Each structure stands twice: as C-alpha cells, then as structure tokens.
Amino acid sequence: MSVKIKKSAALNKLNLTPMIDVVFQLLLFFLVASRFEEEERAYDMPLPKSSQAMSRLAKPKEIFVNVDSAGRVILGGRVISKTDLLAQLRQAAADNPGRQTVIIRGDKQVALQHVIDVRDVCARANIRDCQIATAAATGG
C-alpha cells in the first residue's frame, strides 16, 4: 500500500518564482549601474580651470524687492531709488549670471505701474527670472 503525502494548500496557490526573478533582476541592475559609475570616476585627471565656472550645488539667494502702498521701492529693509535698485540688481546679475531670481512683492493697494516699473528695472539689469508674489486665495 502506498503512502499519500498531502501537500500544503498554501504552496499550491503561492508561486514565489516570479518574485525571486524580479529580485535577481534588480540586484543585477544595481551591480551593473554602480560599476559604470566607478569606471567614470576611476580616471584621475587634472581638469581645466575657468573663471566663469559655477558650482552646481550653490544656488543664488533670491532678492526680494518690496513696493509699498505709496509706490516706494524697499530693498533690504530700506527705501531706495530705482537707479540704486538698478545698480544693485546689475551687481547681483554679474555675480550670478543667468541664475539670479528677483521676487517683487507689491502692496495690494499700490498702482500696478509701480510694480511694472520694478519689473522693467529687472529687465534692464539682465535678470530673466523675475516673479511677482501673490498671496494664496482662501476658499469661501
């Protein structure tokens, strides 16, 4: 008489082979990718120097220009003229070519022309990233 062994019902329903295949594929991918990265950095060579080189990690500070309800321009907590603003923005643009950001914060009671004048000063200073700040509207 032969002996019958009952197999567990759970093993019949759960097939682990596809999951093991996926784990091996991921392991292979990361091993190959890390190897290529090591090969790129293996060459020790002197790099040329450039006076215009910029750090990839350093992000220039945003400059906040405020326009109060009377149309006065405020930068760094003090009221300045538009010609002084132009000089300071030109210096900031020279320090961070193509990467300087200016955020204009205009009082909601100020005439729009004052904010547009500040935007024009930014354009004359060769600052391309110039934004006008607004407050978020609340639902109601």
| pTM, 2 dp | 0.56
**For 8-104, where are the alpha helices, taking DSSP H only?**
9-13, 17-41, 82-95
> How distant, in Å, are the alpha carbons of 4, 71, 76, 103, 129 from that of 113?
92, 9, 22, 16, 19
Please tell me the predicted confidence (pLDDT) of residue 53: 59
Q: Quote the tokens at residue 14.
A: 């759960």
Q: Quote the tokens at residue 59.
A: 């992000």
Please tell me the predicted confidence (pLDDT) of residue 124: 93
Could you list the pLDDT tens digit for every one of the 140 residues in the chain?
A: 677 766 666 556 778 888 999 999 999 988 887 776 555 555 555 656 666 655 554 566 788 999 988 889 999 888 999 999 999 999 988 888 878 899 999 888 888 899 999 999 999 999 988 988 877 655 55
Please report the domains of the chain, with CATH numbers, ordered by start residue. Answer: 9-41 (no CATH), 63-132 (3.30.420.270)
Residues 6+ apart with CB under 8 A from 86: 121, 124, 125
Please tell me the predicted confidence (pLDDT) of residue 108: 83
Pairwise CA distance, residues 82 & 71, whole Å: 11
